[in-house]
């Protein structure tokens, strides 16, 4: 078994959709980035890649490459799941936390869990998503961005 951690942060900007865990969240701003800037999915991707010692999201899906412009991060997560399978790994579980002052995310958490788990082809009970704030501190507390942390455990063989 192996464990990996992931982290991502993106600035909030007007004129973009806010996508977290593959779910579009109604809000007056979205996250700025080359892809859909889904910090939750990006953190999960990095946790999985790290656990398998397969690099990071930027080494597999570099910013600036046209094929990844505005791409759904769920497509990237699906590709990472395939890379793990090809390398002989299976996802045991994922635990993630979104850090955002606004919007309130509680009503979307279960949808995010189901979307991430179905993309990885695992039971939703193996994916935990939580939301927290930074209590008004820093760039997140000022509403300038959203961050996410993730931990993932993988093991050799078929664990579905």
Q: What is the 3-state secondary structure (H, E, C) of 82-125?
A: HHHHHCCEEEEEEEEEEECCCCCCHHHHHHHHHHHHHHHCCCHH
Please state at what angle helix 109-120 crosses helix 39-51, rounded to 10 degrees.
40
| C-beta of residue 61 within 8 angstroms of C-beta of residue 35 | yes
* Helix and strand numbers, DSSP H then E, in the chain: 5, 7
36: its two tokens: 């859909």
Q: What is the pLDDT of residue 65?
A: 86
2-156 folds as 60s Ribosomal Protein L30; Chain: A; (3.30.1330)
Q: What is the pLDDT of residue 158?
A: 59
Q: What is the dihedral of CA 68, 127, 40, 136, to 10 degrees?
A: 180
Q: What is the pLDDT of residue 127?
A: 98
φ/ψ of 121, rounded to 5, equals 75, 35
Rounded alpha-carbon distances, angstroms, from residue 136 to 14, 26, 40, 130, 148: 20, 21, 20, 18, 16
Domain residue spans of the chain:
2-156
What distance in Å separates the CA atoms of residue 21 and residue 137, rounded to the nearest whole number? Answer: 24
User: Burial, 118: exposed, middle or buried (Cβ in 10 Å; 0-12, 13-18, 19+)?
Assistant: middle
Averages of pLDDT over each 10 residues, the chain, 160 residues? 98 97 97 96 98 96 90 97 97 98 97 98 97 97 97 82
Q: What is the pLDDT of residue 122?
A: 97
What distance in Å separates the CA atoms of residue 32 and residue 9, rounded to the nearest whole number? Answer: 10
What distance in Å separates the CA atoms of residue 77 and residue 42, rounded to the nearest whole number? Answer: 8
């Amino acid at each position: 078994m192996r464990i990996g951690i992931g982290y991502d942060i993106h600035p909030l900007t007007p004129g973009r959709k806010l996508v977290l865990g593959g779910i579009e969240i109604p809000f007056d701003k979205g996250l700025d980035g080359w892809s859909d800037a889904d910090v939750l999915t990006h953190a999960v991707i990095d946790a999985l890649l790290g656990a398998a010692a397969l690099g990071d999201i930027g080494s597999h899906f570099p910013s600036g490459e046209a094929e990844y412009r505005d791409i759904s991060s769920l497509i990237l997560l699906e590709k990472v799941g395939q890379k793990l399978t090809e390398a002989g790994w299976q996802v045991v579980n994922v635990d993630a936390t979104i850090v955002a002052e606004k919007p309130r995310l509680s009503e979307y958490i279960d949808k995010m869990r189901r979307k991430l788990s179905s993309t990885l082809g695992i039971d939703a009970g193996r994916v935990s998503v939580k939301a927290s704030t930074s209590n008004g501190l820093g760039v997140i507390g000022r509403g300038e961005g959203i961050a996410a942390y993730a931990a993932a455990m993988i093991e050799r063989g078929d664990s579905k």
